[in-house]
Amino acid sequence: MGDCLLVRPEGVLDLANYASLRNTLLKCAVEQPRGVVVDLGDLEVRDECLLSVFAAVWLRTRDWPSVPLLLVGSARRLPRGTALRRYVAVHDTVDDALAHVDSPEVPCRRAHRVLPSAAGSPGAARAFVREVCGNWSVTGAALHAAVQVASELVTNTVCHTVSEARLKLELRRGRLTVAVADDDPTTVVLPDPGGSPQRGTGLLVVAQLARTWGCVPDPANGRKVVWAVLPAA
C-alpha cells in the first residue's frame, strides 16, 4: 500500500458502531498518510443514511490534515445518484482507488517541535511560531493569530495534562494550520461564553481567531490532537 492506509471495515454498520467507525477514520487521517482508502466489500449497510459517516469524515478533514478519502464499492451498493458521491470519490477496485490518490501536488510546508510539560513551553511555542512564520513570509495579523493560537493550545496542554506538547505547523493553499498533540485522550470542548472567565478562555480565543478548529481524540492510544486552521494572508 506504500504510504497509503487501507481500511476494511467488517460486519454491519449501524447506529451503535457509527461513531466508532468515524473516529477510526479520523485517527487514520490525522496520521497524515498519502491517502485513506476504505474498502466496503465486507461491510453491510442496511440503511443508506448511515453512509453519511464518510461524508462526516470528509468534512472534518478537508481543511486539515487534507488527506484524500476514497471509497471502494460496487455500483449496486453506491449507485451514481447516491448523495455521498458528491463529497467522497468512489472507485470499483482498490487498485483503481490507489491510482487516483495523488491529485496535482499542492505545495506544503511543515515544521514541528516537541515541548516539555513546563511553565516555559508556551513562551517557547510563541518563539518557534514567530521564527517559522518569518521563514515562510507569514506576517501581520496572520502571524499574530498563529502565535496566539499556538500559545493557547500549548498552555492548555501544560495546564490540564502531564504530557509533552507536540506542536506542528503546516502551510498549504494559503492556510496555516496550528496543531498540538498530547497524551491525554480527554476531548477538548468549547466552554460556555457566559461561564467562568478563569477556565477555558483560551479555547474561546482559538475559536474566534480560527477559520475552523477541532479535536480528534484517540482513546485507544490515550492521545488527542487539537488543531486550528488560520488564513495565512
Give the C-alpha separation, 41 to 233, whole Å: 44
Cell of 49: 443514511
138 backbone φψ class: left, alpha, beta (φ>0; ψ -120 to 50): beta
User: What pLDDT sits at residue 193?
Assistant: 52
Three-state SS sequence of the chain? CCCCEEECCCEEECHHHHHHHHHHHHHHHHCCCCCEEEECCCEEECCHHHHHHHHHHHHHHCCCCCCCEEEECCCCCCCCCCHHHHCCEEECCHHHHHHCCCCCCCCEEEEEEEECCCCCHHHHHHHHHHHHHHHCCCCHHHHHHHHHHHHHHHHHHHHHCCCCEEEEEEEECCEEEEEEEECCCCCCCCCCCCCCCCCCHHHHHHHHHCCEEEEEEECCCCEEEEEEEEECC
User: What pLDDT sits at residue 199?
Assistant: 46
Amino acid at 193: P
pLDDT in tens, 111-122: 999 999 999 999
User: What pLDDT sits at residue 169?
Assistant: 96
User: What pLDDT sits at residue 61?
Assistant: 84
Domains, the chain, with CATH or none: 5-99 (3.30.750.24), 108-231 (3.30.565.10)
Regions of the chain where pLDDT drops below 70:
1-2, 103-106, 190-201, 219-220
In this structure, the number of other CB atoms found within 10 A of the CB of residue 199 comes to: 11
User: What pLDDT sits at residue 190?
Assistant: 67
User: What pLDDT sits at residue 83?
Assistant: 77
pTM (2 decimals)? 0.74
User: What pLDDT sits at residue 197?
Assistant: 45
Give the C-alpha separation, 107 to 39, whole Å: 29
